[in-house]
Amino acid sequence: MGGHFMNLKNLFGKQDQNLEEEYNKLWDKYCDIGYENFGLMEIFQKISQAMEDALIACPGGIVFDGGCGTGLNFERILNKTQAGTLVAGDFCEKMLEKARKYRESMNHPKKDKIKIIKVDLSKKFPFSDNTFDAEVFHASINYLPYEGWRDALKEAYRTTKLGGYVYIVTQTRDFDFSKIYKGESLREFKKRLFKPTLKNLLFLKWLIRVKGITGKINQFTQRGIITYPLKEELLDFHKELGFTNIEVTDEPCGGVSVVTRAQK
């Protein structure tokens, strides 16, 4: 779900270094075992298509991909927004390294317009007010602990230009990562098990290994560290910040996730 990142001390003032390390190691491991394989899953394609459908063109504009992970949505965002510059940010250095390699492998006329930088969404964004024509958060800020999505959305409002848009793809409160993983894994196994290409076999190996990641994320939700927003509170917070034209454009994953679009 995007390479995600935490500075827990900064975010909620607790001196819990062990938790901070635990969180950062989780995303490093997610990257090490092959996060890019997530992009091959039908559920990822469905969610990313819903995000792409929500995007409004801003030809020549500057767009921020917040929590870009390994760059799985670079082409979708560039193609739909027609951006002149895509600033892609993540906290996980390993994710950023893969994102840079992916950018170089792209056969896209605007790949040189992708600027990849380290950005910690749990802190004040390192951008001036009114910088971006659009900001996209694809399954990223919902993983910030202790409802850190609220502070990130405040920063998104500050750094988006008047008239610009902010897009959020997020799981909602009823999302159960382990349950979704079980159903989607079964679907992927049925599709690939009897087509024993090397690519399929490597993907199925990854699918088995990633179970530990989904279980760990579920533990964080059970411990109250990750709290996905209710759809209503997400929309209400947009209003509180001053966004207008707030819409839920899709609810993929059987209604336990939402894609929102809001204008500053």
User: What confidence tens digit (pLDDT) does each residue in 130-146 have?
Assistant: 999 999 999 999 999 89
Is the pLDDT higher at 4 or at 103? 103
Question: Contact, 163 vs 140, CB < 8 A?
Answer: no
Question: 5-9, 62-66, 214-218: lowest mean pLDDT where?
Answer: 5-9
pLDDT for residue 2 is more than 50:
no
Amino acid occupying residue 41: M
Domain boundaries, the chain: 8-263
CATH no., domain 8-263: 3.40.50.150
Rounded Cα gap, residues 111 and 66, in angstroms:
17
**Does 208 score more than 80 pLDDT?**
yes
What tens digit of pLDDT does each residue of 225-241 get? Answer: 999 999 999 999 999 99
Closest by CA position to 114, among listed 126, 96, 132, 100: 100
Q: How many CB atoms within 10 Å of residue 146?
A: 17
Tokens 């034209």 locate to 245
Q: What is the pLDDT of residues 171-190, one digit of tens each?
A: 999 888 888 888 999 999 99
The rounded percent of the chain whose pLDDT value lies above 90 is: 80
